[in-house]
Amino acid sequence: MFDGGSEPPRRLPDLIDAGTYMVDERGLIVDVNPRAERLLGRTAAELIGQDAHELLHRGKLGERVPLARCLMRQTHLTGRTAQGEQEWYERGDGSLLAVSWMITPCRIATGRTGTLVIFHEIAPSETTEVVTRAEAMSDLDRLTLLAETTTTLTSTLDVGEALQQLVRLVVPLLADWAVVDLLTEGGKVSRTAVVHHENGVLVHREDLEGPMPPVPQESPMPLSRALRGVTATLAGPENYQGPPDSGIAVAQRKLFEVTGMHSASIAPIRGLREVIGALTLGRSERAGAFTAADLLLVEDIARRAGLALDNARLYERQRRVAETMQRHLLPRLPSVPGLEMAARYVPAPRASQVGGDWYDAFVLSDTATGLVIGDVVGHDLDAAAGMAQVCNMLRAFAGTQPEPPSAVVDRLDRAVGRMVEPSMATVVFGRVEHAEDGRWHLRWTNAGHPPPLLVESDGRTRFLHEGHSLLLGTGLPCDRADAFTELPPRSTLLLYTDGLIESPSDSLDEGLSRLCGNAAALAGRPLEPLCDLLLDRTRPDDNDDDVALLAVRVPAPVR
């Protein structure tokens, strides 16, 4: 957000064909005109507040430009007016925009100066020889592209994101089309991406994507050989004009016909242990066929992509194991007369690791109901294993004899310190008790966990901050306390982990406030829909953690 002075940000006017944006002394974008939004494929909200150099400035191969080599940034720092030709911006979809530009100092707020940038898109005919002809690349350019491929693809452990970055690196620099065929763990073939460069943007042809026929083991056809890991091959529509020897050859003939590709380079994508798939780069609009030198470059790119994809797949496999393990360890909720209970576990987003979040509920020896919500520090199989140990120990300690929650958690803390691989964890352990007069009570202790939320039937809410003490596993002495509250008729108690409220873009107070407001609005809903809606409305979009949620509702009084 613009916070540079007392004057509000102005909206720059649209020029006939020029994009404009304004940056402050730090190089952060403070204003942008609609034409710039359209040219850059980014909204004003995605641009304002971002470092213009880091977000936009690129080399002709799409690589990031060091500050010392960025002419536009140097001009901004000197505070002089200057102009240039054939620089490149990165659009929102990852494609490159060739521009001519002019930079001039300007006033952005009272007492503050900045820089106004005016840029024009250069017609394709002016830049084709510079940015789209692989055969014109110098050895240094090729090495730069390979280095960028390695850096970019190894920066993510998400298969989908890695494929998107791979396509962005090679289209339109090397080809008009990029096709990625991947072998699944079961040996089947999936055409995962068919992407075309159209009018400066990358367009997915979903009608050409999807499951493919099996790979024939003896076929000499280029794609079949690549998918078996035999060799990289130059190919064209003529390779598929004869009688097809397999279903995959029929699919390739259709690909060449629909796309209009007259030349293609097809290379295996190899992992450390096996072939992962094949990369096909094709030319349709531009003249000139791929050369042997081009094929060597494509083969090297595919090899680097294979290592990155292999790592991402291994990571995904480990993550699935951890998630499956965690789901199987989470308990089934008991049936307790008078109480309604519902629980949810939502794993972290695909690109993130599995954590150690858990919930639990069980009937104690004195007929009270034990409630647990916890989070073992860490995000991997060790965290999931630690969660299982802590969960089971807590159940065992709580079930031996009726004790205050603080005594149970204190025993648990000492036991955690004696584990072979000690874990640190936060936990809330509570006892829901039904008194002889018909009222319901909660006794609890909190070891470093976010506070439970009590939601009354009329929407009034309050966080249960009492009974708070140090988290488990620190090895430090701690005096743990118990807290007590009555649970009003038809009230709902919410126990949750921090993934529901924490966000890199918001403060903790904002997350707690969002939870409180949503819970109040949903107070009258049945418990199962309440849990689903609460997760949907409260969990931050940029959340990178898993979430456990346990909801308990006490009944209306018996008349």
Query: What are the DSSP E strand ranges found in 187-339?
Result: 189-198, 201-204, 210-212, 233-235, 263-270, 275-283
> Mean pLDDT highest for which of 341-350, 378-387, 485-494?
485-494
At residue 132, the pLDDT reads 42
Instruction: Specify the pLDDT at position 464.
Output: 97
Q: What was the pLDDT predicted at 558?
A: 64
Answer yes or no: same fold for 18-127 and 132-319: yes
Which is more confidently placed, 8 or 496? 496
d(CA 134, CA 145): 11
- Predicted pLDDT at 428: 97
Cα–Cα distance list, 403 to 7, 100, 397, 442, 469 (Å):
62, 75, 9, 14, 18
Q: Is the pLDDT of residue 128 over 50?
A: no
Q: How confident is the model at residue 352 (pLDDT cuts 50, 70, 90)?
A: very low
Exposure of 387 in the CB half-sphere (CA atoms within 13 A): 30
For position 351, what pLDDT does the model report? 43
Residue 136 has pLDDT above 70, yes or no: no
| Mean pLDDT along residues 376-389 | 70
- Could you tell me the fold of the domain covering 330-553? Phosphatase 2c; domain 1 (3.60.40)
Q: For the domain 132-319, what is the CATH code? A: 3.30.450.40
Q: Does the global pTM surpass 0.85?
A: no
Among 11-25, 226-240, 487-501, which stretch is predicted with the lowest mean pLDDT?
11-25
Residue showing tokens 């080809």: 175
Highest mean pLDDT of the ranges 10-19, 158-167, 419-428, 546-555 = 546-555
The CA distance from 338 to 556, in Å, is 9
Q: 18-127 — its CATH code? A: 3.30.450.20
Question: CA-CA distance, 37 to 103, in Å (whole number)?
Answer: 18
Q: Which range (151-160, 209-218, 534-543) has the least confidence?
A: 151-160
Mean pLDDT over 476-483 rounds to 92
The whole-number average pLDDT for the span 230-247 is 89
> pLDDT confidence of 455, banded at 50, 70, 90?
very high
Domain ranges of the chain: 18-127, 132-319, 330-553
The confidence score (pLDDT) of residue 79 equals 66
Return mean pLDDT, the chain.
Answer: 84
Give burial (CB, 10 Å; 0-12/13-18/19+) of 558: exposed
Beta-bridge partners for 536: none
Work out the average pLDDT over 455-474.
94
